Structure 1
Amino acid sequence: MASEVQADYLNELNPPQREGVVNTEGPTMLIAGAGSGKTRVLTYRIVHLMRHHNVDPFNIMALTFTNKAAREMRDRIEKIVGNEAKNLYMGTFHSVFARILRSEASKLGYPSNFTIYDTDDSKTLIKQIVKEKNLDDKLYKANVVYNRISAAKNRLVSWRDYINNPIYAEDDASNMRPEMGKLYQTYVTRCFNAGAMDFDDLLFNTNVLFQEHPDELNKYQHRFHY
């Protein structure tokens, strides 16, 4: 029966897609346009690992950009392999990293039930900080400050690195926002003291966790073989 199911899903693929599914060892990069079947290839690659190579779903991590893609992948996999699909560590980058951070939060000084601020929460906090610092809210608009902090975090630039970087300082000064670095620092401190992370922190702090705690990185590397 398993071989019949295997044949069914492989027969749905064209030759390049099939190659992406069956070549399971080592890194594989798929480059294709929208609607060309990348999600299908990733889905069937996971099925192939479980069905053909007997890989425990506990040892597979699958990351997507959207919740919709994650749901579609899990549903497709479950139709072929059954309830085993529930053991896959699958979701968006943010949801999977949030799960990791909740397990390891204490190592970064956060409670395991830390709050996740959405964009509105973050902008509200920024407005409060700007007001407390008596800064011009027309220059330091919440949206502008939020985007600047978000861009820094997505480049893995901490507030300390930001403040000590002359390029950022010069850029902020030229835009008449010389206090941007201090705003970044205060924003991060206030979030930490509130036991909260914003969306960007879910990515940024996972990187911090693995950089500062190589034992944790090693643990997850040994768990997730694929």
Structure 2
Amino acid sequence: MQQYISQLNEAQQEPVLQKDGPMIIIAGAGSGKTRVLTVRIAYLMSLGVDAFSILALTFTNKAAREMKKRIGDIVGAAEAKNLWMGTFHSVFARILRSEADKLGFPSNFTIYDTQDSVRLISAIIKEMQLDKDVYKPKQILGRISSYKNSLITVKAYFNNPELQEADAMSKKPRLGEIYQNYVERCFKSGAMDFDDLLLKTNELLNRFPDVLANYQERFRYILVDEYQDTNHSQYLI
């Protein structure tokens, strides 16, 4: 382990060697932040921290795979594979699959990609006999996505006159109905879209304190790569 630490400069070694307590690393592109994160996780494991109690959130799945491989090179692949490491979406999908029944979803729920979502919204717009030149499916999905990432559920939307007025001003007074139909249809199909992976994780942790306590107890070390790019929903989790 020491040989990997000695390859880091003094500023990089400092966060690697701080075992406990909060910290934030601010450094420019190409200055070795990911390397610091990798060596820090390996160092924690070398001190006897269980891999199952480390949660590492990365910006891409590719970054997660590369980091896991590098950590495996230091501490052994068998140990590294027990790490909870991946993007916000992939890690939260894993949590939701374990807890889906609490939210009324099957554990093998489908995850809709953008194409699936656009297709469903197009069908809803057609069924509601709305003008697809005004209610453009991709734009509608973008709007619904921004609601979900701000934790605005259908119920919250209909309790917010300002949002409804803004949609009416942009000549889309029935956007709330589309949102409601979309959410209901996804639920009936046992499906979540990418934004639901964040929204439903927030719902799960807020509605079920015992589930929250379980994951708080499990993850003793939480490391977030590219923390400055988290949205409101990710930040709250």
TM-score, scaled relative to structure 2: 0.91
Q: Alignment RMSD, CA only?
A: 0.8
Give, in whole Å, the separation in 1 of the partners of 2:6 and 2:94. Answer: 35
Residue correspondence of structure 1 range 14-93 to structure 2 within 5 A: 14-51=9-46, 53-82=47-76, 83-93=78-88
Q: CA deviation at 1:190?
A: 0.5
Say which of 6, 21, 32 aligns to 1:11: 6
Please give the per-residue CA displacement for 1:72-123, whole angstroms capped at 9, x wherever unaligned.
Answer: 1101000000020011111111111000000000000000000000000000
Counterpart-to-counterpart distance in 2, 1:209 and 1:150: 19
SS in 1 for 2:131: coil
CA contact (8 A) 1:126 1:146 kept: yes
Deviations 1:34-80 (A, max 9, x none): 222111111111111011x2101011111111011101110100000
Aligned-pair identity (%): 60
Unpaired runs of 5+ residues, structure 1, are 1-5
Q: Which runs of 4+ in 1 moved over 6 A?
A: none
Partners in 2 of 1:35 and 1:156 — Cα distance? 34
Contact 1:163/1:182 (CA < 8 Å) preserved in 2?
no
CA distance in 2, matches of 1:24, 1:152: 38
Q: Which amino acid aligns with 1:87?
A: N
Number of the residue aligned with 2:227 = none
Moved more, 117-126 or 15-24: 15-24
Q: How many residues align?
A: 220
- Whole-angstrom CA distance in 1 between matches of 2:152 and 2:7: 44
Deviation at 1:164, TM superposition (A): 1.4
Whose RCO is larger (CA < 8 A, sep 6+)? 2
Q: Gaps spanning 5+ residues in structure 2: where? A: 222-237
Query: What pairs with 1:140-179 in structure 2 (closer than 5 Å)?
Result: 140-179=135-174
TM-score by length of 1: 0.95
Task: Provide Cα deviations, 1:107-155, integer angstroms capped at 9, x if missing partner.
Answer: 0000000000000000000000001111111111011100000011111
